[in-house]
Amino acid sequence: MAQLTGFSNSKVSLAQSAPLPKKLDEGLVERLSQRITRLGNRELKTVISPFSGEVLDHIPLCTADDVREAARKAKAAQKTWAAWSFKARGDVFRRFHDLVLERQHEVLDLIQLEAGKARRDAFYEVMDVAVNARYYAYNAAKHLKPRRRRGVIPFLTQTWEYRQPKGVVGIIAAWNFPFIFAVSDAIPALMAGNAVIFKPDPETSFTALWAADLLYEAGLPADLYQVITGEGPELGPPLIENVDFIAFTGSTNTGRIIARQAADRLIGNLLELGGKNAKIIFADAPLERAVASALRGCFNGAGQICMSSERLFVESKIFDRFVRLFSERTRQLKLSTSLNYEFVVGSLISKQHLETVKAHVQDAVAKGAKVLAGGRHRPDIGPFFYEPTILTDVDKTMEVFAEETFGPVVSVYRFDSVDEVLKRVNDSPYGLNASIWTKDLKFARELATRIQAGTVNINDAYPATWGSVDSPLGGFKNSGLGVRHGADGIRQYTEAQTIATQHYHGVAAPAGFSEKRFSQIMTFALKILKHIPGLR
């Protein structure tokens, strides 16, 4: 909805060390309210702060008409934008990169308040957005510039591959990375010459609006990036109906719905979905580093990160030592609601999600699992806080065994052989991320190629692959379709177009040649071409 994003000079100025505000910055909300008025008083949805359980503010529930209007404006704006050079588009994102870093305290507060994250986790979002802005500002042209291709007849056919923007790209995303999902997929889409309409999760719309504001401040032309706020089942269908590509990040169930609707329209789609990620720790792993990384890999974002590890396989020889240290350190993790860097584990997003996490642990314990650390709801800190939790003796009968918990809960298993652990790691309908810990890097790289996951981190949890934005990132199996990052991450937002110019004579018998003679000459030519490097 263009109306929501057209405002400028937004100042979200929550003091970094201030006590937790119950409401969002009035300036931002006031501007938002004006837009709502202009929309004709849309129904409002109450947004709850996960830190306090109190009302944070309200967002308008956009309608299908709002989506159509946003698409109409986006389409018009895209035509001019597509004619901009890569250099001019890149200048917008170079300025955006600098603004994000300069004004990070504003968005850090906003992310914490909306998503209930620790500040450290919010800062990872700032880094990701800056890295993607920098990468595509400087590398989009390399990935998309017209390329000379080999012609059908050497020297006589001049063939070029062009990349044309799709038009309008729709993005629908989950709440767990409100800033990243608002911008990091939009950047390659915009750099490729498209307009973007973004539908955030209703829990985290304000960060998206702030991001829109900053994009316009960086010089993005009006209407090119629009935010529609509201519920997925209402806004998803009209959005897919009116865009030329849909990128989705969220649960596998919703991903299937999106894919079906995209198939009906024959539009491309990117699906970044759920996971049940495994970490393998071999006996020769550097123990201290492996434990420190397991703490981050399992409990960053209170476990609400698609690439978090929920299954930990530890070689029997070090199982007891590893588990003792991991449990001790887990119990020491500090939970809090303050807007500073003093704590490392934040809240779950909502009461509903808290219930899912509690149910997974209760089900496991009822069926015989042991709790080595955590396992308790912590309303004394905030209404949806849940302790980082380690389980052992988990088996197939328990929900937590194969289903994604998407919370701070990890099951630890022992293993004795490589073949055995590989089989257990791959025995999952998901294939998003994996991690291997060992000193034997050659062995680890070979093992990694046998793991069915889109990313495998050796001696790291997930930042090594996630932050390597020159390389693709996506899921195998039920974890998704398509990739973000790298060349593929921007080319997917384009149509491939081949333009070939034929000089002299084309692929047909010249005048005076019989078709039979022509076929004999061509057969001879094809045999020769196979032997000429550069032409085969």
**Residues in the site for ligand NAD, rule: CB under 6 A?**
172-176, 199, 201, 231-233, 236, 249-251, 254, 257-258, 272-275, 306, 404, 406, 432, 475, 480
Q: Any idea what DSSP says for residue 306?
A: T
CA distance 409 to 176: 16
- Exactly one of 203, 306, 310, 315 is catalytic; name it: 306
Q: DSSP string covering 182-245, please?
A: HHTTHHHHHHTT-EEEEE--GGGHHHHHHHHHHHHHTTPPTTSEEE--S-HHHHHHHHHHH-SE
Structure tokens, 227: 């935010």
Is residue 210 within 8 A of residue 178, CB to CB? The reply is no
- Residues 6+ away with beta carbon under 8 Å from 273: 249, 250, 251, 252, 255, 306, 432, 475, 478, 479, 480
Task: Choose between 388 and 480: whose C-beta lies nearer to ligand NAD.
Answer: 480
62 is catalytic: no
| Burial (CB count within 10 angstroms: exposed 0-12, middle 13-18, buried 19+), residue 326 | buried
Quote the least distance from Cβ 301 to ligand NAD, whole Å: 10
Task: Choose between 21 and 237: whose C-beta lies nearer to ligand NAD.
Answer: 237
Task: Choose between 258 and 318: whose C-beta lies nearer to ligand NAD.
Answer: 258
- Residues 6+ away with beta carbon under 8 Å from 238: 64, 67, 68
Quote the least distance from Cβ 253 to ligand NAD, whole Å: 7
Q: Decide: helix, strand or coil at residue 460.
A: coil
Structure tokens, 390: 């380690």
Question: Scanning the structure block, which residue is given the tokens 């209402």?
Answer: 234
Quote the least distance from Cβ 304 to ligand NAD, whole Å: 7
272 is catalytic: yes
Quote the least distance from Cβ 369 to ligand NAD, whole Å: 22
Quote the least distance from Cβ 507 to ligand NAD, whole Å: 45
Structure tokens, 59: 């967002």
- Exactly one of 272, 315, 387, 404 is catalytic; name it: 272
Which residue is at the shortest CB distance from ligand NAD? Answer: 232
Positions annotated as catalytic residues are 272, 306
